[in-house]
Amino acid sequence: MNVGIVGLGYVGLPLAVSFCEAGHNVVGVDVDPRKVDALKRAKSYIEDVPSETLEAISERLCASLRFADLTRCDAVIIAVPTPLTRNREPDLGPLLAASAAIAAVLQRGQLVVLESTTYPGTTRERLVPLLEESGLAAGSDFNLAFSPERVDPGRTDYSMRNTPKVVGGLTEACLARAAALYGEICEEIVPVSTPEVAELTKLLENIFRSVNIALVNELAMLCDRMNIDIWEVVDAASTKPYGFMRFEPGPGMGGHCLPVDPFYLAWRAREFGSPTDFIELAGEVNQAMPRFCAEKVTRALNETSKPVRGSRIAILGVSYKSGVGDLRESPALKIMDILSEQGGELCYHDAYVPALADFDLRSEPLADALDDCDVAVIVTAHPGLDLDLVTDRAPIIVDFRGVTAGKYSREVVRL
């Protein structure tokens, strides 16, 4: 097959690689000329896709800025960002722009699949009218489906092939066509009755995590007042062999899904007169965590009669999760903003993030970051973080990931 992919980021590029490795040709379209240029040189900008992999598929992957190149494709997959506006409402700008561009080159008999996370009804109510401006009818002249991405950056135990793929088509024929497409790269296809079911499935997956993380984060804030170790509580509760699932507190949620998806559903629910108070409250609790964590750092300094202003604060780990360099919605950046506004002198160590342009900082070797620091703050505990060195050099340690729990005799301020 010839497969077109619009959007060559964390979702689209691994998808392109999977189809190429399965023996198909891929036309990858992106509006960012830097990405297109990098792919033409077989240079990867995604951690999960090594440049060596791009070199191996270079004859099958054609990167382009031109939507017109999609005319020769059998299927076109949309994998563009679906962020939030400043008012925490869905921003479908990139998706609608991509859909309009596809409509201008859409061919009879093509399959279009949306993978971008969005609210229920987007495929039917927003994509269909746009694509039908081509003069072709959805479901008869071209096929249309929704299949949510399930990319987890840095994960190695589950890949595109062994992660079940949910697919919902506009018609039975659309579903069959999309299922056949993904059957080329996925071991298990999970067909559902409509695009709306598939759209809400993705939101449920992430809202489930958001709500449970919010619960344990709220307990962490309560435990802070009650002088109870939340990590010991979670460890003890996790010994129950049934009826309990472990979730851990943290400095806040980051990435491309968890901080965004609850607000997509909450916004859509209001259109139906059914506010999702529980889901929205969970989002608010998680959004409050960076400020709570910054206050923990302030209190830790105060305990040694030091103000934030003028103190050297070493931030250990700035990406949103362990083992990757992804900064999207990273709580570390929000914590750094707050401490910087209070006059803190920041430095950081992160082997996965060489520089933070917004702070005019570069990652320092761990030993250098700890030298003369007044407090070391563990925000993201990457693999290989030398905790022995941290505990030996840092006069104060604030641990937001629980990695020091039960391991060191010295006093550590924990979440």
For residue 206, give the 3-state DSSP assignment: helix
Report residue 91 CA to chain centroid gap. 16
User: Phi and psi at residue 153, in whole multiples of 5°?
Assistant: -55, 135
CA 30 vs CA 43, 79, 110, 151: distances in Å: 15, 10, 19, 19
Tell me how far apart the 2 most distant CA atoms of the chain are, in Å. 72
Residue of 174, 223, 257, 293 marked active site:
257
* H helix runs in 110-194, sequence order: 122, 128-131, 172-183
Separation between Cα atoms, residue 315 and residue 356, nearest integer Å = 12
Beta strand spans in 109-154 (E): 111-114, 143-146
Nearest to 66 by CA among 103, 99, 34, 30: 30
Cβ–Cβ < 8 Å for 376, 396: yes
* Catalytic (active site) residue 257: yes
Non-local CB neighbours of 274 within 8 Å, separated by 6+ positions: none
Nearest to 402 by CA among 393, 412, 388, 410: 412
Beta strand spans in 285-358 (E): 312-316, 345-349, 355-356
Separation between Cα atoms, residue 280 and residue 116, nearest integer Å = 21
> Among all residues, which ones are annotated catalytic?
257
